[in-house]
Structures are given as structure tokens and as C-alpha cells.
């Protein structure tokens, strides 16, 4: 069965510093996709970044980058130059097989302090 594991329930980072949020996954599929979403206290889910299993380059979107290590089955999110507005829950997710469904990890609560 496919599974997403986020081992950090909470993380603290000082403003302007970089932070890495961990995500490991388990799948027997050769083709899969990995996602990161941000959920502020308001509750909506905001798409941040996507990495396909066959993508050779690590995905980047502005201050977000995905450190994809296929052999280790990890897809860590790196946020550079943290801002106070980055404080939120962050969820790692994986596309389930060849379907268009996502399975989610338990999330990491990030707190950015001045």
C-alpha cells in the first residue's frame, strides 16, 4: 500500500532563514507524483510544488524547492528565506498509482518567528 510519512509534527524557523520539511513515501509504482500543499489557519489548501517520479531535475517554484531523492524515497520541501506568512501546516501528498487521487501525510506545522 502507498503511504506518505511526515515525521516532524512541528518546526520552528527564524525569519529569513531556510527550513526543510521532511517527507518520505512508500510505493511500488514506477510512475508517481509528489506534491506539497500549504494550509494556513483559514483552512484552505494551497498548492506549492509538484515533482514527477521521472523528472530528472528537482522542482522549484519561487522560494520553494523539492529535494527529491528517489533511491531514498524522500521528497523534502525546502523553503528559502522564510517569511512570517509561511507559518502554516504543510502537507506532503502522493498521487495514488495511475489514478487522479492524492494520499496525504499527517502534516508539519511550521512556525516562523521574527
Site for another protein in 64-103 (CB under 8 A): 89, 91, 95, 100-103
CB 35 within 8 A of CB 57: no
Of 43 and 114, which CB lies nearer to another protein in the complex structure?
A: 43
Rounded distance between C-alpha atoms, residue 68 and residue 39, angstroms: 22
Q: How far is the CB of 114 from another protein (least distance, A)?
A: 24
Q: Contact with another protein (CB under 8 A): which of 19, 48, 76, 107?
A: 107
Choosing from 30, 41, 43, 85, the residue that interacts with another protein (CB under 8 A) is 43
**Those residues with Cβ within 8 angstroms of residue 78's Cβ, 6 or more apart along the chain or in another chain:** 18, 19, 20, 21, 64, 65, 66, 67
Residues that bind another protein (CB under 8 A): 33, 35, 37, 42-47, 50, 52, 89, 91, 95, 100-107, 109
Amino acid at each position: 500500500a502507498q503511504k506518505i510519512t511526515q515525521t516532524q509534527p512541528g518546526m520552528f524557523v527564524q525569519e529569513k532563514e531556510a527550513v526543510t520539511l521532511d517527507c518520505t513515501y512508500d510505493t511500488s509504482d514506477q510512475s508517481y507524483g509528489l506534491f506539497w500543499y500549504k494550509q494556513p489557519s483559514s483552512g484552505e489548501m494551497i498548492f506549492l510544488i509538484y515533482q514527477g517520479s521521472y523528472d530528472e531535475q528537482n522542482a522549484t517554484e519561487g522560494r520553494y524547492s523539492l529535494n527529491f531523492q528517489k533511491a531514498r524515497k524522500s521528497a523534502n520541501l525546502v523553503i528559502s528565506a522564510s517569511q512570517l506568512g509561511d507559518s502554516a501546516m504543510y502537507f506532503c501528498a502522493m498521487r495514488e498509482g495511475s489514478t487522479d487521487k492524492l494520499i496525504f501525510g499527517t502534516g508539519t506545522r511550521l512556525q516562523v518567528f521574527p
